[in-house]
Copies of this chain bind each other. A is one copy, B any other.
Amino acid sequence: MQIDELDTPSLTADLDAVERNIARVQHYCDDHGISLRPHVKTHKLPELARMQVEAGARGITCQKLGEVEIFADAGFDDILISFPIIGESKIERLRRLAERVRVCVAVDSDEGADALDGIDVDVLIECDTGFGRTGVQSPEEAARLAGTVERFRGLMTYPTPAGTSEWLQRVLDLVGEVDCISVGGTPTASSVHELGIATELRVGTYVYGDRACMANGSVPLEDCALRVLATVVSTPTRERAIVDAGSKALTSDLAEATTGYGFLLEHPEAQVYKLNEEHGHVDVSRCERPPRIGDRVSIVPNHACGAVNMYDEIVLHRGGEIVETLPIRARGRVR
């Protein structure tokens, strides 16, 4: 069966492109002696994580304990949680997970560090090297916090703005060598060796690519594996087509350095200028042959991780021929 026969909207991924993306980043990491630890928040599929590990990835990265539980059940046994674990019930779940798989957690506070007492986990100190999200605010604070945890293994940051190397090196000057310096982000995934300090790369989006990756140059269109297939359901004017993929099929996530909500493969001149929940508003005024009612379109979403999270299943194909349909096992594991 061909993906053209699927009802819409449907989420599809081109396995050939997925394999190219996995191989490209793995080769890059191998060439530079950097461990790859893919972030599974993007695909939420044990099957793709298996491909990543078989290609050479060291382990996986999860963002939520709910993801860790799914992937541990699926046999993954080396998992980094790159998100602060706070609260009694989460600490208890972490304790149970740590009894059966190797877990490393990111910590950026005394509260987070203290809660790990007696739990069998490694710790990376999360450092805010400029992004302004989580992470300790100074190398001195990183060194101090590192001294309070039992199994300090290294440092973690995301992303890697200018000054990151110097920031992290200052911590090393204070604490000495560490096992792991973990950095993240698909946009800079092919240049982290230039930092001269990273030992591990965490990336998620690279496996599928998306419109943001096209805009920032990290994944070219030909390697963007993910599509939301949609149908034109209304053409009220010459300028406007409405497709059956709105914010519940594409998300309202924007992409830096571009406007609109997705790239229409069959109509590159078109602009998805607005979304309602189930309606995608497409400006087709610049299309010489605008799409007609019933026409199918293939949309590269702005943000792969967000789009995947809207679906219960994904259809994997090669060249349009369906290979298999997989349940997105870790979708909805919000906690």
Contacts and interface: CB of A to CB of B under 8 A. Distances in A.
A137 interface: yes
A298 interface: no
B87 A234 contact: no
Interface in A244-266: 244, 247-249, 251-254
A89 interface: yes
A212 to B, nearest CB: 13
A277 B86 contact: no
Q: How large is the interface on A (under 10, 10 to 19, 20 to 34, 35 or more residues)?
A: 35 or more
Contacts of A52: none
B134 A236 contact: yes
B137 A237 contact: yes
A334 interface: yes
A231 interface: yes
A77 B8 CA distance: 25
Interface in A275-300: 276-279, 281, 293-294
A310 interface: yes
A112 interface: yes
A128 interface: yes
Interface string A219-253: 00000000000011111110010101001110111
Contacts of A135: 234, 236
A8 B310 contact: no
A249 B84 contact: no
Interface string A81-94: 00110110110000
Nearest to A141: B236
A108 B242 CA distance: 12
A8 B63 contact: no
B309 A86 contact: no
Contacts of A134: 233-234, 236, 242, 279
A233 B135 CA distance: 11
A9 interface: yes
Contact of A7 (B10, B89, B233): B89
Contact of A234 (B8, B108, B235, B251): B108
A297 to B, nearest CB: 13
A111 interface: yes
B86 A9 contact: no
A334 B90 contact: no
Interface of A: 7-10, 41, 63-64, 83-84, 86-87, 89-90, 108-109, 111-112, 128, 132-137, 231-237, 240, 242, 244, 247-249, 251-254, 276-279, 281, 293-294, 305-306, 309-312, 332, 334-335
Given A109-B234, A112-B293, A136-B236, 9 more contacts: A83-B233, A109-B235, A111-B294, A112-B234, A133-B236, A133-B276, A137-B236, A277-B309, A311-B332
